[in-house]
Chain A
Amino acid sequence: DAGVIQSPRHEVTEMGQEVTLRCKPISGHNSLFWYRQTMMRGLELLIYFNNNVPIDDSGMPEDRFSAKMPNASFSTLKIQPSEPRDSAVYFCASSTADGTSTDTQYFGPGTRLTVL
């Protein structure tokens, strides 16, 4: 199993540019989570999907952030326009959340985003 795959691993962009982060969950997992990690705020859950449907997006900072999951094997997190304060490591995680499982989450390697 390849695990959760994220791309790119590193992204450097200028303020105002659009940034798209990508995630491929583990095959067979039906829940997908986007997290942001910074020194100041720690690990924050941004949004999570179950069966491709967004369940809770209360952690999305503002309208500049959007996430989609068009199918079971792909999700994107988009920031438009990006700002320096968006600089962080963004993690994608997946799990088998079927209501009876215990939801161990498997994390990808992360995307380190730097907005100049």
Chain B
Amino acid sequence: AQSVAQPEDQVNVAEGNPLTVKCTYSVSGNPYLFWYVQYPNRGLQFLLKYITGDNLVKGSYGFEAEFNKSQTSFHLKKPSALVSDSALYFCAVRDARSSASKIIFGSGTRLSIRP
């Protein structure tokens, strides 16, 4: 079985400071890992994904995420937060072994950036 955990319901960061949103996963095979962002009253938007290769993945809006196989983590990071980054962030995982496996989303982390 596959699962994904976002241990923090909320993360608060001052504008200009670095931010980290945590994600850990569990899959039987190799993982495909994703980050999505949801702004108020909108659907989820794709940010970035890890498939294979370089453990550091760069995505939209200056976000990046680091795949750590030994810690089964895929934390989302940004060097300098903007107020406009305030939103709900979802981590997701899929087992790469089977094309029939479905993507599992985490419970979401609300990121709040204060001016």
Chain A residues with a Cβ under 8 A of chain B: 4, 42-43, 45, 48, 50, 55-56, 91, 93, 97-100, 102-110
Interface Cβ pair total, 8 Å cutoff:
48
Contact among A45, A55, A102, A106 for B100, CB-based, below 8 A: A55
Quick check: which of B15-23, B63-71, B75-83, B102-110 contacts chain A, the rest being far away? B102-110
Question: Mask for B85-115, Cβ within 8 A of A = 1, else 0?
Answer: 0000010001000011011110110000000
Contact among A50, A91, A102 for B43, CB-based, below 8 A: A91
B side interface size, CB within 8 A? 21
Name the residue in B46, B90, B103, B104 with the highest tally of chain A Cβ atoms < 10 Å from its Cβ: B103
**B90–A108 touching, CB < 8 Å:** no
Contact among B41, B102, B108 for A45, CB-based, below 8 A: B102
Contact among B42, B43, B94 for A103, CB-based, below 8 A: B94
Contact among B32, B42, B102, B107 for A42, CB-based, below 8 A: B107
